[in-house]
Structure formats: C-alpha cells, structure tokens
Amino acid sequence: MTAPTTAGGQRYLLGVWIFMSVLTPTLGFLGARGFAPALAVLGLLCLPLARPLVRDWAGLGILALVIALAWISALWSPVTNLHSAKAISRFTGLHLLLQLVFSSAFVIAAARLDAAKAELSLSWLGYGLLAQAAILVIEGLTQARIYQSLQGVITDAVRPDIAVRNVAVGGYVVATLFWPVAATFWRQGRQRMVVALILAVGFSTVFLRGDSPTIALMFSALIFALVLKGGRSAVLATGVVAVVYWLTTPWAMLALQRAGIFEILQHHLPASWRARLQIWSFTNDHLLAYPLRGWGLDASRAFPGKISLHPHDAAVQVWFELGVAGAVLVAAFWGFVFWRIAQDAKDRLFAATACAAATVYLVIGAISFSLWQEWWIGLGALAMAACVALRRFIDKPVDPWIYPLGTSPEAA
C-alpha cells in the first residue's frame, strides 16, 4: 500500500476521517440510513486520492459483475419499472452502481493514509464510537428518553417502544465498527479504553435487546480468537466457511425444512424468529422455480404478506433474486476479501480484527438486513476502510509488549 507523498494530501484525508468520525455517532443514534448519503459524500471527497492497486481490481471487477447481473435481472423482475425518471432514480441497480464508485473510493483512499494519520483517524473514530455506545447504554436504561425528547422537538413525539426500536439500530453500528476500534486502542497500549469499549458495547446491546448484534459479536469473538492463534490458515478456513455460506444456505435450509426441522423449531422460538422461518420457507420453495436466473432484482418485494421486503438472509436473497450466477459472484467477492486478509496475516492482530469485523457483517446480514440496503452497504464500507487504516497504522513501530503473546509479526 502506498501513502500520498504530500503532507497536504495526508491532512486532507485526516479531515475526511474526522468528519466521518463526528458523523458516525450522530447517524448511529439519530438515523442509520444517513450512512448511505454520508459515504457517498465522503467517497466523492476521496475520489482524487483513490488509486486502486492491481490486486484491488479483482474485487472491484467482481462487484461490477454483480451489479451488471442485477441490472440484467431487472428485465424479468416482477417489480422493476423503469418507465419514468422517478422510477429510474429509485432503481436499486443505480444505487448499487453509485455505492460501488463512492464507497470503493473511500475504502481505497484509506490505504493512502500514512501510519501516523491512520492512527489519528482511527482514534477519532474510536472516540465517537465509544461516545455512541455510552449513549446507547443510557437510552437502554431510560427507555430512549433522550431520543424521545429530540424527536419531540424535531418532528412529532414518538411512542417509547418505537423510540427504543429506532435507537436499537445504533447497536448494529457499534457492533460493526467494534473490532477495528478495539484493535486500535489495544495497539496504542490503551487497555482501559478497550475494556470501556467492551463494556459499553456489551451493555448497549443487552439493554436494547439487540439479538443480531449480540449474536454477531459472539461469533466474531470466536473467530478473533481462532485467527489470533492460527494465523493465515485460520483466515483461509474462515474464508472457506464464508464461501460455503453464500453457495449452500438456501439448499441447506430447504433440506431442514423438508426434514421437518423448521416445523419443530416453530414451537420453541420467539415470534421474530418464527417469522424468519416462515419467510425462509416461502422463499426457498419459490427459489426452485428459477434457480439459475433467479426471480430478478428486488423480486423479494413482489410477495407482500409472505416476504417482508426482503428474506432476512443475504445468501437466500442473492439466490432468490440473482440465481446461481449471483451467488457464485458474491461468494467469489468474499473469498477475495479473506484472501486479501490472509496476505497480511503475518500480523495476527490485524488478521484477527479484519476477520472478526467481516464475521460481524456476515452474521448480521444473515439474519437481519437486505443485501441491497444502502446504509448497510455504506456501514460495511466504513468498517472495511477502518480495517485498511488499521493495516496502515500497524506499519508504525510499536513496543512488543503491546501484542498478545505470540501474535506479533515476528512471532507469526
């Protein structure tokens, strides 16, 4: 990775990151949907300094193919309508293309930070995330009293249960960005900050009853420990699991469904999970109609009452809408991500952090949001950029005692 040679370019990138660091807790608390336009603006600002390396083009090319397939699939999608300017402006394929340009520019530009500016950028992000997590703890204890007060001033008053639900979305933000921020504090030798972050994030997800962030953080902690111990081989093994997830999930679900497992689970799960099982059963059954081409982009929206806007599982959605080609391409992209992490696995702290951050994103995507949801893609890009900046920061010399035993580059 090559940093800009001019001091002005470094200060410019640092300013962009400070701006993002201020926006992150604000958007995470008041409206996570704002991550979509925020990443668009920041990506636009980073375009002059976005210089992809040769190895970056493979990942960009795969994503471009996914978007091209999405555009083509719109020809047979039951919900796509491009007969007016308004419809075109709302077209998911257009939004994905813009995300590819701007979010990729932000991630690639992060590789241009020098070690010192990368550390400062991540520190700013860390302070913002810690502040947001602390506010979420308070909101969880007070039934979102602060959020209710602000909403009453800005718009109309909101019911306490809706306020808590809206605030709980911030838990996805702190969970997604937790690992690169925690690794930054650890790398700086600020273990108390790491403990404070763990407590704030943990209590915020518990008090706001965030099932998905909690599950994601638990799985990611396991992956973090495995990669910290196993190094490159553990990274590649995690990548294989990710690829298998994208390629086999709907078919594994279909097998469980036909074996009667879903019916048994229906009697032992809370309502939200029962709803997921019903959606997955319906989606997987209908997937059999067009397993090769899929139903088309956004086809999940064509079945109101059966599918709530999307299937609540990213792998099921890509199979259902884009078919086998879409699933293979998305699996190839994630395989590429873990391969890139494996290339830098000599530093186990970085490798473990990047794998854990990717795991959080994959697990939440497997049970929560639409694959095409713009703010969720933007948040994922921010987490990836934070990991890229962490890799730049780790290039800075550090006292060996800061690393856990056996995890320094020299010990790998």
What is the SS3 assignment for 10?
Answer: helix
Amino acid at residue number 298 = D
Q: Check residue 266 and give its pLDDT.
A: 85
| pLDDT grade for 362, boundaries at 50, 70 and 90 | very high
pLDDT-derived band at 157 (thresholds 50, 70, 90) equals: low
Q: What is the pLDDT of residues 318-334, one digit of tens each?
A: 999 999 999 999 999 99
Q: Are 198 and 354 in contact (CB under 8 A)?
A: no
DSSP string covering 311-362, please?
A: -S-HHHHHHHHHHHHHHHHHHHHHHHHHHHHHHTTTSHHHHHHHHHHHHHHH
What is the C-alpha separation between 210 and 136, in angstroms, rounded? 11
Q: Is pLDDT at 407 greater than 50 in this prediction?
A: no
Point out the least confidently predicted range of 187-201, 249-263, 338-352, 387-401.
387-401
Statement: residue 411 has pLDDT above 90: no
Q: Rounded CA gap, 217 and 13, in Å?
A: 30
Q: How confident is the model at residue 29 (pLDDT cuts 50, 70, 90)?
A: confident
Q: How far is Cα 216 from Cα 355, in angstroms, rounded to an integer?
A: 12
340 near 55, Cβ under 8 Å?
yes
Say whether pLDDT at 1 is over 60: no
Contact 81, 87 (CB under 8 A): yes
State the pLDDT confidence band at 208, using cuts at 50, 70 and 90: confident
Sign of CA dihedral 388, 103, 30, 357: negative
Q: What is the DSSP letter of 288?
A: T
Q: What is the pLDDT of the chain when averaged over all its residues?
A: 88
Residue 31 or residue 388, greater confidence:
388
Q: Which amino acid is at 302?
A: A
In three-state secondary structure terms, 66 is helix
Work out the number of other CB atoms within 10 angstroms of the CB of residue 85. Answer: 8
* pLDDT digit string, tens, across residues 85-119: 777 778 899 999 999 999 999 999 999 999 999 99
Residues 331/243, Cβ–Cβ less than 8 Å: yes
User: Taking 50 as the threshold, does the pLDDT of residue 412 lie above it?
Assistant: no
* pLDDT value of position 404: 42
What CA–CA distance (Å, rounded) separates 45 from 56?
20
**Structure-token pair, residue 80:** 């796509």
Q: Which of 16-20, 281-285, 305-309 has the lowest mean pLDDT?
A: 305-309
Can you tell me the mean pLDDT for 228-250? 96
Residue 257: is it exposed, middle or buried by C-beta count within 10 angstroms (0-12/13-18/19+)? middle
Angle at 44 between CA 49 and CA 5, to 5 degrees: 15
Which of 396, 322, 343, 249 is CA-nearest to residue 77? 322
Residues in the chain: 412
Average pLDDT over residues 43-57: 89
Query: What residues does each domain of the chain span?
Result: 7-411
Greatest mean pLDDT among 140-149, 374-383, 397-406: 374-383
Q: Chain centroid to CA 74: how far?
A: 25
